[in-house]
Amino acid sequence: MGRRTHVVLAAAAPALLLVLLRLHMAVAADPPFSCGAPSSAAFCDRRLPIEQRAGDLVSKLTLEEKISQLGDESPAVDRLGVPAYKWWSEALHGVANAGRGVHLDGPLRAATSFPQVILTAASFNPHLWYRIGQVIGTEARGVYNNGQAEGLTFWAPNINVFRDPRWGRGQETPGEDPTMTGKYAAVFVRGVQGYAISGAINSSDLEASACCKHFTAYDLENWKGVTRFAFDAKVTEQDLADTYNPPFKSCVEDGGASGIMCSYNRVNGVPTCADHNLLSKTARGDWSFNGYITSDCDAVAIIHDVQGYAKAPEDAVADVLKA
């Protein structure tokens, strides 16, 4: 691909739209959002369950329109009154002017920037982590309501277990301990999404959407000719269960995360974004994850172009969608 792209995936067709509808239920009338004008469509009827509304919207889309929604820049469906949406925004330690969804170039010129996550995590203070998440969620919604954002999906937190100090992005993570990383993930996500720090989660409304990344066993950038795009992590089943997956399990089960990002690397020969056992059996099945899954930038393309796992680019797309 000529430019860095993410592919947003859905194991069940309405998953992306579930997130969007939950976000838009709480939004003010000024920013563009679906059903802004009177409509008789079922997906605009707030009295109906979100799953029913999402299913109705999917049923009205043509095949071409469905395909168009799979990228990180989803075009408008004007005939249904559905506006364009940009999925990619960043907020690892504060709402960032990165990605494509946030534009801090209007009346709002900046958002609060907190310390790098590895420093914040060293406080061992879950209430602090939660409060930071709360501020990020509130400021994200504020930027959106001010018309300076085209999406409310933020690709944070980074909860990879930081086991190799040569990885240049380790400062984005809470560190090397799976238990602490899992606790950070849960309370940070709860803060961003507008939930209480503990107790039951009402997932019908989202202040903003958090995404747990990069799933899984990922902490290598470029070492002795091995890049993050080609890296094949050899991990035992026990080490996956004890070390690398617990933070993501906590992010989903305890935090109620609405997004997961699969990583560039392979795990035991299988690209994570094409791993049905990882994405469908583990995340959706064992952990009851009901949000959207996105690839990292170009992580679908490299399944063919770099890793040679798929025989053709079309096969890479098919492998990922099936997974």
Per-residue pLDDT of 249-284, as tens digits, reads 999 999 999 999 999 999 999 999 999 999 999 999
**So what's the pLDDT on residue 221?**
86
Given the residues 72, 296, 298, 319, select the one marked as catalytic.
Answer: 296
**So what's the pLDDT on residue 14?**
57
Residue located via tokens 């991990």: 235
Domain layout of the chain by residue ranges: 87-322
Contact (Cβ atoms closer than 8 angstroms) between residue 118 and residue 170: yes
298 is catalytic: no
Per-residue pLDDT of 14-62, as tens digits, reads 566 666 666 655 444 456 667 766 678 899 998 999 899 999 999 999 9
Question: Which residues of the chain carry a pLDDT beneath 70?
Answer: 1-5, 7-33, 36-38
**Residue 291: is it exposed, middle or buried by C-beta count within 10 angstroms (0-12/13-18/19+)?**
buried
Alpha helices (runs of H) in 210-261, residue ranges in sequence order: 237-239, 246-253
> Residue 135: which residues within 8 A CB-CB, separation 6 or more?
94, 112, 114, 191
Backbone CA torsion sign across 107, 111, 112, 116: negative
Q: How far apart are CA 238 and CA 253, in angstroms?
A: 20
- pTM of structure: 0.91
Could you tell me the fold of the domain covering 87-322?
A: TIM Barrel (3.20.20)
**So what's the pLDDT on residue 12?**
47
Q: How far apart are CA 179 and CA 307, in angstroms?
A: 32
**So what's the pLDDT on residue 153?**
97
**So what's the pLDDT on residue 8?**
66
